[in-house]
Amino acid sequence: DQSVCPPLPVLGRDVRVPLVTGGEVTYAALDYAASAPALQRVWDDVAAYAPYYGSVHRGAGYLSQLSTELFENSRAEVAAFLGCRPGDQVVFTRSTTDSLNLLAAVLPAGCRVFVFETEHHAALLPWPAGHVTVLDAPRSPRQAVEILERALADRDPHGPALVCVTGASNVTGELWPVRELAAAAHAHGARIVVDAAQLAPHHPVDIAACDVDWVAFSGHKLYAPFGSGVLAGRADWLTRARPYLAGGGASRTVARGGDGGLDVEWHTTAARHEAGSPNVIGAYAIAAACKALTEAGFERLVEREQRLVARVREGLAGVPGVRVLSLFGDDAPRVGVLSFVVDGWNSSHFAAALSAEYGIGVRDGLFCAHPLVRVLLGGERDEPGECGAPDGERSLNAVRVSFGAGTPDEHVERFVRAVGELV
């Protein structure tokens, strides 16, 4: 009920776009999984702070002190939002991709990495070649745990290991059994990082309760602007490794060494991996988004989003020839991210028609998860051309609709009507 929990005001909510059929309409942003519109509240908070920003950890002046305090408070805000344990670190990065590459750079020697083939490329590709075990796509959450347990049982139990798994799929929106996977990983002496790029904007994350070692997410999917991300979790691997970026800010002391080189003492805090002048506004914006979601009542936002998910699923189920993609089946819990194919349609053309005729912005393609889309559509559709083969229905791509805290009911209703009319 909108009167109980209205959509949160976001930027761009009043943008008008022209339609090929004539006239114009308010743009319906239904591609939150790529980048969600920033919350108006975040924008306002950033605008209020922007005139005062200054260098952090460097200046003696008032604005530098103020900025340093706000930057460090932003870390604390994010830690609270994620349910971090005492001693966990929150490292500000550029994005989820950057966060996972950072973790890849600090892996202990010989670390074996386990990933399901269903991951986003950001979670599939950063790991050192030759040290990755790719696991088959499971067909249920329970099977995911079984597959992982089997793979971990087969590994050398003495070496370090890391499991990297998505919290919510950027293709199907399905939630993964993070808590159970973490328990399985730990039972076999492995660590686990959760790619929370699609989880954090749609579902509360609780690092401590789920007992995961790290989570990674991006600000631009969590209703903050582009340019900042987070890796949060256990400090030990982070503090033992050489900095991801070496330079000022990461080092505590630097001196000429006796051997003609340099003696460097690196920081043991999150600053160790944040060399250079950090994205202070980006960090502040992420923290503002965390705060805004918490204050709006994240549970209520989730409840409302679930109502929209149910409406989209019901709407699509009523259109002949539309198939919603799923690994775990109809009953699997999912966030506001759904991909589908339509008989007789190339998905690129379908997405283009939604934009041109209805002012609806969705995404089509393989969503940087090529192996997963092959599992979901393989054998049924041909390999893709550059952006979907021109032969219509036989291309390996799908349409993705995604939404969240800023989505009005009207956007979802327009989408459901548009799919029906186009088909």
Dihedral angle, C-alpha 233, 146, 118, 393, nearest 10 °: -150
DSSP, collapsed to helix, strand or coil, labels residue 345 as coil
170 near ligand PMP, rule: CB under 6 A:
yes
How far apart are CB 156 and ligand PMP at their closest, in Å?
28
Ordered DSSP codes for 130-173: TSEEEEPPPSSHHHHHHHHHHHHHTS-TTS-EEEEEESB-TTT-
**376 vs 418 by CB, closer to ligand PMP:** 376
User: Looking at the DSSP assignment, which residues form a beta bridge with residue 322?
Assistant: 342
Of the candidates 97, 118, 347, 402, which one interacts with ligand PMP according to CB under 6 A?
97
Site string for ligand PMP, 36-75 (x = CB under 6 A): ----------------------------------------
Number of residues lying near ligand PMP (CB under 6 A): 14
- Inter-helix orientation angle 347-358/409-422, to 10°: 120
- Find tokens 């087969």 and name the residue: 154
In the complex with ligand PMP, the residue whose CB is nearer, 5 or 78, is 78
Binding mask 356-375 for ligand PMP (x = CB under 6 A): ------------x-------
Tokens of 79: 């830690």
In angstroms, the Cα distances linking 401 to 294, 303, 356 are 25, 18, 16
The answer to whether 376 contacts ligand PMP (rule: CB under 6 A) is: no
Region class of 141: left (phi > 0), else alpha (psi between -120 and 50), else beta: alpha
Report 101-120 residues binding ligand PMP (CB under 6 A). Answer: 120
Beta strands 322-324; 337-342: pairing state: antiparallel
Cβ of 44: how many Cβ atoms within 10 Å?
A: 13
How big is the chain by its Cα radius of gyration, in Å?
22
What's the min distance (Å) between Cβ of 18 and ligand PMP?
28
Euclidean distance between CA atoms 371 and 332, whole angstroms: 21
Q: Does 346 bind ligand PMP (CB under 6 A)?
A: no
Q: What span, in angstroms and rounded, lies between the C-alpha atoms of 104 and 126?
A: 6
Can 368 be counted among the known catalytic residues?
Answer: yes
Catalytic residue among 84, 164, 368, 387: 368
Q: Which of 67, 89, 95, 228 binds ligand PMP (CB under 6 A)?
A: 95
Tokens of 361: 């912005």
Q: Which of 5, 30, 122, 290 binds ligand PMP (CB under 6 A)?
A: 122
Q: Which is nearer to ligand PMP, 220 or 272 (CB)?
A: 220
Binding mask 180-209 for ligand PMP (x = CB under 6 A): ---------------x-xx-----------
User: What residues from 282 to 311 belong to the interface with ligand PMP (CB under 6 A)?
Assistant: none
Q: Taking CB under 6 A as the rule, does residue 93 contact ligand PMP?
A: no
Is residue 218 within the footprint of ligand PMP (CB under 6 A)? yes
In the bound state with ligand PMP, the residue whose beta carbon lies nearer, of 166 and 347, is 166
Q: In Å, how far are 70, 248, 281, 351, 391 from 56, measured between CA atoms?
A: 9, 12, 11, 44, 55
14-33 footprint of ligand PMP as x/- string (CB under 6 A): -------------------x
Q: In the complex with ligand PMP, which residue's Cβ is closer, 74 or 198? A: 198
Binding site for ligand PMP (CB under 6 A): 33, 95-97, 120, 122-123, 166, 170, 195, 197-198, 218, 368
Catalytic residues: 368
